Structure 1
Amino acid sequence: MTASLPQSPWTQRDDLAALMAALGKGKARYVGGAVRDTLLGKAIHDIDCATVLMPNAVIERCTAAGIKTVPTGIDHGTVTAVLPQGNVEITTLRRDVSTDGRRATVTYAAEWHEDAARRDFTINALYADPETLEIADFFGGLEDLAAHRVRFIGNAAERIREDHLRILRYFRFQARFGDTPDPDAIEACRNLAHTLKGLSRERIAMELLAILALPTPVDTIVLMRKLGVLPVILPEATDRTIDVLKKLIAQELSESVAANPIRRLGALLPPISNICEAVAARLRLSKQHRNRLMCIAERTSADSSDPRALAYRTGMECAQDRLLILGESLAPFSGWSVPKFPLNGGRIVERGIAAGPQVAKTMREVEARWVDEGFPDEPRIAELLDEVLAQRSTV
């Protein structure tokens, strides 16, 4: 099967043409996601190139052409060309020397076929000539792309043994591009699921969150659980929490809310703080993500009784997360933002309350009434303060 890359805005970029000219005719090809996604008519975010040139030669040729380069992955043969319309990563052809499931020892290769053979899936091993846009396909990637089939290059089990993370990458790509799962891939993922235990938590978190960020990942999550993959990386997830995730995604679509992987992770976990805390620690989540997950974990059915009060207590982001997971509408937040409590301690001191604990206690009492009444304006704040002080004077 032969094909050419269709003309697209990115293939006609002047700065990209200048880069290809600097590297030399026949010395570089577009590869990977940009080629695959252009063939599928999808938006392009990153452009990668493979080249027969050594990294130092790439730098020298770019410098001579006035193109700035950054040695972003020089140890692995990658140089980034800094271009006006978007940077491009240029990587020298490579082949694996040895692998242990976590990292590979590579050396430079001379043939495009060798470089393609070390990649994961056939649809990611498509190369396009920058001048003619003709596709070089060594492993049937074009047919797989047309058939919506995600297939490992060569033997699936061998590819996974080279890098155990490819199990999770398979499910991510299957969710994005696949229809019926490839039997060989499924069997290999099932048999080698236990190997995920040897990977760093950061790498697992990266792939898990990427899967959860996809538009409709539920079928993939169900398959991962069925094959024993999900229990290895997220044993806290159950059939019940997967059902919660499914309902959340339906509610996100209903409310036209963008997917968020931390919100979805929160739905996939039971609403128990110590469990979510343990997961956040195990996955090495950032402080920001940890805090968001912990707030989601504290959700209860009572959250829907007063959405605006919930947003005042937890912040708008967490309130929206909780309501969506509960299947509730976000309509109460339309045209509304969380107000700031207008009363300060100075006004209470002016009313004869000595500075100290009593001021703070008075503030809390007024604030509680203010929230219960739906955040009334300033005149009512003054009345609430009068009521609290009057009640205290009669005690």
Structure 2
Amino acid sequence: MTGTIGQRPWMTEPKAAAVLDALEAAGGADCARFVGGCVRNTLLGRPVSDIDIATVLTPDAVTKALAAAGLKAVPTGVEHGTVTAVSGGQPFEITTLRRDVSTDGRRAVVAFTADWEADARRRDFTLNSLYARRDGTLFDPTGEGVADARAGRIVFVGEPEARVREDYLRILRFFRFFAWYGSEPADAAALAACERLRGEIGTLSAERVSKELLKLLAADDPRPAVALMARTGVLGEVLPAPIDLARFEGLVAIEADQLFECDPLLRLAALLADDQVGAVQLAERLRLANAERDRLAAALSPTPELKSWMSPREIRRAVYRQGPRVFRDRAKLAWARSSGTAPTMQWRGLIALGEGWSPPAFPLTGDDVIAAGAPKGPMVGQVLREVEDWWVDQDFLDDRLSVIEKLKAVTQGMAF
């Protein structure tokens, strides 16, 4: 015991209390404690989202205790000791205290234990090896977690290389936690271990890598962490060369200065080359969702080039051709690349105009083209595109009769 974080509302609200009550009914007082992020974030005065619980009860006993209390139990990782309780619609991950029996860098064989210190020793970082009772009593089995958390030190529990060899994802987790909670300088021993073992990242599943990468990029300011990844060669194991650190750093600065919401996928795009084929290949390698893949590729189109001094008419044309979201993404990336060479107000105005204009629907259909004399078939699309190009050049003329007259002129000039 090392003090208290105080009894906070998230500890005593009915959903959490019902889970603790169920476990204590089966295992007695102090058979379960809050652990990890909820304890760490409370200590640091940060918001708490997920609530995880550690317990001496085995997964079978946890499942029976939850059922006896009328709570749903989901076997999300029973082989590793994890059962998810659902209380009032909210999930609570409950994990039996454990120690590693064997590991291969991707999977671990564990044995359950009742030893809180043994459980703490198998965790990744000291600031994540913190436990708290429901009354707020704080436990720091490593003796360093509280001090490290408050100082922004991301330190592996025990010997860094041994912790990394247990699970190579911990390389990326180190940089992710540094982005969210760390202060410079980074722990030298941790960095050295990550650098030495960076080649093992390729043995991890793509889904685990992409999830960790996007969490890292969602930090308020991931620039120091990404710079360290680049310096140690870790970034090159995850993303293809060339890496555009300058554009990435420019985008993060713009988001902070202009109060834009941080956007991890766009930050990923900022790191990459303007290469749509390469973006699609990376998205497939990282097993990103189709929508994420398509957004990356669209944002990294090298043409048409966006400039801060575009006229309102040119902006409307670009928004119509690309769509509002793609235009906004590409405008932010162009701004980030040209950071310092064009007035902020020009870029801000360009984005605001693009966001404030709703593209109109083209007023013609294929039926209109056929009615004007074009035969059914590929020619219909060709005529539509030609008239649409004219309509866009006319700045989206709001006069259907004029558009019909243009359609007639185009069809009369074509040999069908």
**Smaller-chain TM-score bracket:** over 0.9
CA distance in 1, matches of 2:131, 2:205: 31
Match of 1:182 in 2: 187
Confirm or deny: 8 A CA contact 1:100 1:162 kept in the other structure.
yes
Tell me the equivalent position of 1:50: 54
Q: Do structure 1's residue 112 and structure 2's residue 116 form an aligned pair?
A: yes
Correspondence for 2:245 among 242, 246, 252? 242
1:133 to 132, 136, 158: 136
In structure 2, the residue corresponding to 1:87 is in which secondary structure? strand
CA RMSD of aligned residues (A): 1.9
Identify the residue that residue 346 of structure 1 maps to in structure 2: 367
The answer to whether the aligner puts 1:270 opposite 2:273 as a matched pair is yes
Counterpart-to-counterpart distance in 1, 2:275 and 2:381: 31
Q: How far is the alpha carbon of 1:70 from its aligned partner?
A: 1.6
Q: CA deviation at 1:8?
A: 2.5
SS at match of 2:4: coil
Tell me how far 1:79 sits from its aligned partner. Answer: 1.2
CA-CA distance at 1:308 after TM superposition: 2.9
Deviation at 1:369, TM superposition (A): 2.0
Distance (whole Å) between structure 2 residues aligned to residue 253 and residue 324 of structure 1? 13
1:144 aligns with 2:148: yes
Question: SS where residue 228 of structure 2 aligns?
Answer: helix
1:392 Cα deviation after fit: 5.4
Q: 1:364 to 1:36 in 2, by over 3 A?
A: same
User: Comparing 16-25 with 342-351, which one deviates more in the overlay?
Assistant: 342-351
Aligned residues: percent identity?
42
Alignment partner, residue 324 of structure 1: 332
Matched-pair contact (CA < 8 Å) for 1:252–1:324: no
Deviates more, 1:283-292 or 1:299-308: 299-308
Moved over 4 A (4+): none
1:115-264 → structure 2 map (5 Å cutoff): 115-130=119-134, 132-139=135-142, 140-180=144-184, 181-238=186-243, 241-264=244-267
Pick from 48, 65, 70: which aligns with 1:61?
Answer: 65
The Cα offsets for residues 134-183 of structure 1, whole Å up to 9 and x where unpaired, read as 11101110011111111110111111111111111000101111112111
Q: Distance in 2 between matches of 1:252 and 1:382?
A: 44
Q: CA distance change for structure 1 residues 373 and 253 in 2, over 3 Å: closer, same or farther?
A: farther
How far apart, in 2, do the equivalents of 1:22 and 1:104 lie? Answer: 29
Distance 2:250 2:294 in 1: 23
- Residue pair 1:213, 1:261 contacting (<8 A) in 2 also: yes
User: Structure 2 length normalisation: TM-score?
Assistant: 0.88
Distance 1:142 1:212 in 2: 25
Shift in CA distance, 365/98, structure 1 to aligned 2, threshold 3 Å: same
CA-CA distance at 1:187 after TM superposition: 1.6
> Is contact 1:164-1:196 (8 Å) kept?
yes
Tell me which residue corresponds to 1:310: 318
Kept after mapping to 2: 8 A contact 1:123/1:144: yes
How far apart are the structure 2 equivalents of 1:384 and 1:341?
A: 10
Distance in 1 between the 2:212 and 2:197 partners?
Answer: 17
Q: How much does 1:289 deviate?
A: 1.3
CA distance in 2, matches of 1:164, 1:269: 24
Question: Is contact 2:33–2:55 with CA below 8 Å preserved after alignment?
Answer: yes
Instruction: Answer whether contact 2:230 2:236 (CA < 8 A) is retained.
Output: yes
Shift of 1:42: 1.2
Structure 1: state its 5+ residue gaps. Answer: none
Q: Identify the residue that residue 5 of structure 2 maps to in structure 1.
A: 5
1:81 correspondence with 2:85: yes
Q: What is the CA-CA distance between 1:254 and the residue it aligns to?
A: 4.2
> Deviation digits for residues 269-293 of structure 1, max 9, x if unmatched?
1102232232122212221111111
Alpha carbons of structure 1 residues 244 and 66: separation in structure 2 relative to 1, 3 Å? same
Structure 1 residues 300 and 348 mapped into 2: Cα distance closer, same or farther (>3 Å)?
closer
Q: In 1, are the aligned partners of 2:58 and 2:81 still within 8 Å (CA)?
A: yes
> What corresponds to 2:339 in structure 1?
none
Question: In 1, distance between residues paired with 2:249 and 2:212?
Answer: 19
Paired residues of 2:76 and 2:84 also in contact (CA < 8 A) = yes
Q: Aligned to 2:73, what secondary structure does the other structure show?
A: strand
Counterpart residue identity of residue 329, structure 2: D
CA offsets per residue over residues 8-64 of structure 1, 9 Å max, x none?
Answer: 221120232222122111110000101101111111110000000111111212222
> Aligned match of 1:355 in 345, 365, 376?
376
- Mind listing any 5+ residue stretches in structure 2 that lack a counterpart? 336-346
- In the alignment, the residues of structure 2 paired with residue 284 and residue 62 of structure 1 have an alpha-carbon distance, to the nearest angstrom, of 35
Could you say what secondary structure the match of 1:302 adopts? Answer: coil
Distance 2:379 2:32 in 1: 74
Of 329-338 and 51-60, deviating more is: 329-338
Residues 345 and 359 in structure 1, CA contact (< 8 A), matched pair in contact too: yes
TM-score where L is the length of structure 1 = 0.93
